[in-house]
Structure 1
C-alpha cells in the first residue's frame, strides 16, 4: 500500500514540525514547505493527494494557492486551510475559490488527522 502524499504549507516552524510528526506517525508522507514560493515549486513538481495550508504566508498566500490549484493547475485535490480564527474574510475567500475545509489555529493535530482522512475518503467517491 502506498503512502498518501500530503503537502503541508505553514511558515510557523514549531506548528509545522508538530503537525508533520503527527501526520507521519499516522502513515502520511508529508512534504513541508515554509513559504508560498516553495509551495508553488512543490506543486509544479508533483501533485499531492491532499494539501493543508496556512493562509498567511510569505510570497504566495494560501488563498492564492487555492486559486492556483483550482484554476491554473485545474486540480481537484482536497484542500484544508488553517488560519487564525479572526481572519474571516480570508477564510470565506478561500472557500469561494474552492477550499474544502477550514481549521482555526491553534490546530489540534488529532482533529486535523480526522478531517484529512474524511476528505480523502470523500474524494475517492
Structure 2
C-alpha cells in the first residue's frame, strides 16, 4: 500500500518541477523546445489521473467504513492509531488532488504557450503582407 503513495509523491514532485520549468522566463527558442518536450510527456502523464482518482475513491471508501474511536471504551493506543490513520488519509487526499491539479496546470500552460506562438505567427504573416 505504501508504494502507491510513494509513487504519487514522486509524481507530484516531478509535476511541480515541470510546472516551474514551464513558468520560468526562458529565451523563445529554449521555451519552445521545453514546451514541445513537456507536451509530448503530457500524454503518458495522463494515465496518472485515473490512478489518482482510483486512490481518492479508495480513501473515501475506507473513510466511510473506518471504525470510529471516539467513545470512552477506546484505549489511548487505539485513539492514537485512529488519529494517525486520519492524518495519513488527509495527506493522501492532498496528494491525489495535487496530481490532478498540477497536471491540469501543466496542460493549460503548454496550451497557452502554443496559442501565443500561433498568434505570433499570424502577426508575423500579417506584417509581411
TM range (shorter): under 0.3
| Higher Cα Rg, which structure | 2
Which structure shows the higher strand fraction? Answer: 1
So what's the TM-score if we normalise by structure 1?
0.23
- TM-score, reference length from structure 2: 0.23
Tell me which of the two structures has the higher relative contact order, counting C-alpha pairs closer than 8 angstroms and 6 or more residues apart: 2
